[in-house]
Amino acid sequence: MYLLYVSACVLLSSNLLGAASELDYDGWLHIRLFHALNDDPVPQYVERGNITVSSVRSGASTIGQHGLQPSQITQLKYLAEKDSKYRLKAIIRSASGGENTFLTSLPACYLLGSDLEDILVIWIDSAAEPVAVNLLSPTGCTLDNPFAKMWSTSVQVKYPESGPVPDTASYIQKLEREREARERGETKDNRSFLAKYWMYIVPAVIFVVLTSATNPEAAGGGGGGGQRQ
């Protein structure tokens, strides 16, 4: 019964690990992007463009975005000079029909340094459902005007990769061999005498000590009688 219980637990853990580390099926994502170029606590989002990921396995995508107007570049540079962040909102609809909104941000100076080149990383779970979005820049920070006025975006779809699967068959066989050895009495006990029988020795020692401590007069009387002889 114990062996069956252990086997069931190990197999269940293996199945859960496999489910959490592999992409179950392919799917698609449609992403609507909105960005905020203001520095207020409440962002004022305007449409930036759309991205269609036709296959989450391969990451193949089609990107269509609006270029920045001179006034928007001025706003972006103002954010960079104030060491503020460029804020992005992504509304993602998946093949299952669900729709989720994600917020991410990046220091505006990094977008100036990359000439409006950025990386959008979309994290999905094993069911190809989006769980997080990150905006990254491939270069460092600068306060210079960008040479480009059009976004150059790379889309990366990331999901958990397969991890090592425990060797459950070998472990179960080892448990079975140990159980059979115990039943045949082949397992040798190499422990010392004290390690084997301490549970019997310790109570006996405690009993003797307690008996001597609670009966001092009897011990003294026995000694006197011996002297009179």
The string of pLDDT tens digits covering residues 4-49 is 433 444 444 444 344 344 566 788 999 999 999 999 999 999 999 9
Beta strand segments in the chain, E: 29-36, 45-53, 61-65, 85-94, 99-107, 117-124, 130-136, 152-158
Sheet of 130-136: strand order equals 130-136, 117-124, 152-158
**Which range has the worst mean pLDDT, 10-14, 55-59, 95-99, 220-224?**
10-14
Per DSSP, the three-state class of 60 is coil
| Residues 6+ positions from 55 with CB-CB distance below 8 Å | 26, 27, 28
pLDDT at 58 over 80: yes
Residue among 128, 125, 49, 65 at smallest CA distance from 94 = 128
Q: What percent of the chain has pLDDT over 70?
A: 75
pLDDT at 205: 81
Residue among 151, 140, 2 at smallest CA distance from 73 = 151
Q: In angstroms, rounded to a whole number, what is the distance separating the alpha carbons of residues 206 and 194?
A: 16
For residue range 153-189, what is the model confidence (pLDDT) as tens digits?
999 999 876 556 666 777 677 777 777 777 776 656 6
pLDDT at 188: 62
pLDDT at 52 over 60: yes
Tell me the average pLDDT across 132-144. 94
Q: In angstroms, rounded to a whole number, what is the distance separating the alpha carbons of residues 145 and 152?
A: 16
Please compute Rg for the chain using Cα positions: 36
pLDDT at 1 over 60: no
pTM reported for the whole predicted model: 0.62
Percent helix, strand, coil in the chain, to 5, is 40, 30, 35
What is the residue-averaged pLDDT of the chain? Answer: 81
pLDDT at 223: 47
Residue 225 pLDDT level (bands cut at 50, 70, 90): very low
Q: In angstroms, rounded to a whole number, what is the distance separating the alpha carbons of residues 225 and 227?
A: 5
pLDDT at 185: 66
